[in-house]
Amino acid sequence: MKISSDKNLINDHFINPRNIGELADADGVGTAGNSKDGDFLKIFIKIDGDIIKRIAFKAFGCPTAIASGSMTTELAAGRSLDEAAMITSQKVEAALGGLPANKADCSNIGAKALQSALEDFISRDNFKTTRPVGERRVAVAMSGGVDSSTAAALLKSEGYDVIGITMRLHNETPIESSRACCSPLDIDDARNVAARLGFPHYSLDMRDKFESKVIKRFCDEYLLGKTPNPCMECNREIKFKELLKTARQLGAEHLATGHYVDIRHNETTGRYLVYRSVDKNKDQSYMFWSASQEVLSKLLMPLGNRTKKTTRSIAENFDLAVADKLESQEICFIPDNDYRRFLTEYAGYKPLPGPIVNLTGERLGEHHGLPFYTIGQRRGLGITHSEPLYVIEIRPDSNTLIVGSKSEFNTKTILVGEVNFIPFDNLSAPMPVQVKYRYNMSPVDAAVEAISDTEVKVIFDSPQGGVAPGQSVVFYDNDMVVGGGIIE
């Protein structure tokens, strides 16, 4: 990359900008920069099949920014979506002959506006292309972390036609010490990995769908006294439905992620099966109980037979900048991990105090609002007693929190709804299984028996504590996922 610029080329694109103007019938519109106090660029694209047939831009700011917009549109005109998705800031800068050191940031504005326009296009409900689905083409759901980046690198090295897709789920920027995922910064990390490995990268605006299908359900469930799992709902409603649909529109036969789970095809039964990862400390099979056979047939999981340590080593070998990136742990749309604050500020919940009672109805104290408590909670109840007390039930109808001793807290039977089975369609007879009713727990022995096509009863071999309505329960046969559902 040149350090000093070719002033004649930059001046030419500034004085005689290509593709200046607007497109009233644009299929995608993207912006970059700040219109109030700095450089600002807007790009318009018109798509015919899979090709950018027309492109235009408007810009305000310094000559270099305008030249960047002109050169970006010149590079993208007549290109396929994949070719346009690979136009980076570095390529724009190189095409301009380099930039002055104090204007290096201006090269970003053209490529960022183009990527924004492509995002707008593929995020529209009526989005479609004429690109045929390719058997070896795979869309990798890239979160910007080491796992999904390594999955993409492995598939690329195996000869797959890889494209990266990163979902824009919210506008949160990670706060200091936060380890949330899916932020705008993560999109940049994913795009840089794709550029490093040489494949197209798209961002997909899923904010509205994520809000309606994940965030709203999260809030509604908490206000009903349940303990939801938003990551599970994101897999079920967003990744396995919306993202897979977009991948198909972009010509991908498969969708890959960086999850630690093993998916196998049983040649005898013809069904796709889910197994625990070889790395039991990182196993994420719990997250896949809801996947249908149609979805499982399209998924590729390159890390299912690898450990986390091996993954980081592979990332280093591919010279990926995210090789040492910390794992995300918080709920992505609550980066400070304070769901109580989120319920009051986002959902407008106004804390309503009420009684804390035991199973005999004796009042022991006052709670600060039912959504601030979870089943199994022992600390922070604000009451003293001769023995430890746990939250054993939440009753929103009467705004009452029920507490009890450990023996009262335990249960042997739970009702499970929204059930999905993987090796078979329906449970024909009671079946011995191992059960996980929390993500980070060791499976416990139980039996599962059908009540209807969508509900089952789980009978534990020994009493269990901390079973919370709203959480997922997953059934295993040794390392194979039998199915799962939502605790009612």
Give the Cα-Cα-Cα angle 189, 193, 198 (nearest 5 degrees). Answer: 145
Calpha distance 129→161 (Å, rounded)? 17
> What are the start-end ranges of the E strands in 311-385?
354-357, 363-367
Calpha distance 303→305 (Å, rounded)? 5
Q: Dihedral of the CA atoms 381, 382, 388, 389 (nearest 10)?
A: -40
Select which of 106, 181, 219, 332 is catalytic.
332
**Is 234 annotated in the active site?**
yes
User: Which residues, 6+ apart, have CB-to-CB distance to 386 below 8 Å?
Assistant: none
Which pair of tokens denotes residue 421? 């089975």
Calpha distance 311→412 (Å, rounded)? 39
Residues in the chain: 488
Rg (CA), the chain: 26
Pairing of strands 161-168, 134-141: parallel
Select which of 106, 181, 231, 234 is catalytic.
234
Calpha distance 321→146 (Å, rounded)? 9
Calpha distance 435→448 (Å, rounded)? 9
Using the structure block, give the residue that is written with the tokens 């109580």.
340
Using the structure block, give the residue that is written with the tokens 């039998």.
482
What is the three-state SS of 414-474?
EEEEEEEECCCCCCCCCEEEEEECCCCCCCEEEEEEECCCCCEEEEEEEEECCCCCCCEEE
Per-residue DSSP letter, 293 = H
User: Which residues, 6+ apart, have CB-to-CB distance to 308 below 8 Å?
Assistant: 260, 279, 281, 282
93, burial (CB in 10 Å: exposed 0-12, middle 13-18, buried 19+): buried
**Is 182 annotated in the active site?**
no
Single-letter amino acid code for the residue at 109: I
| Residues labelled catalytic | 234, 332
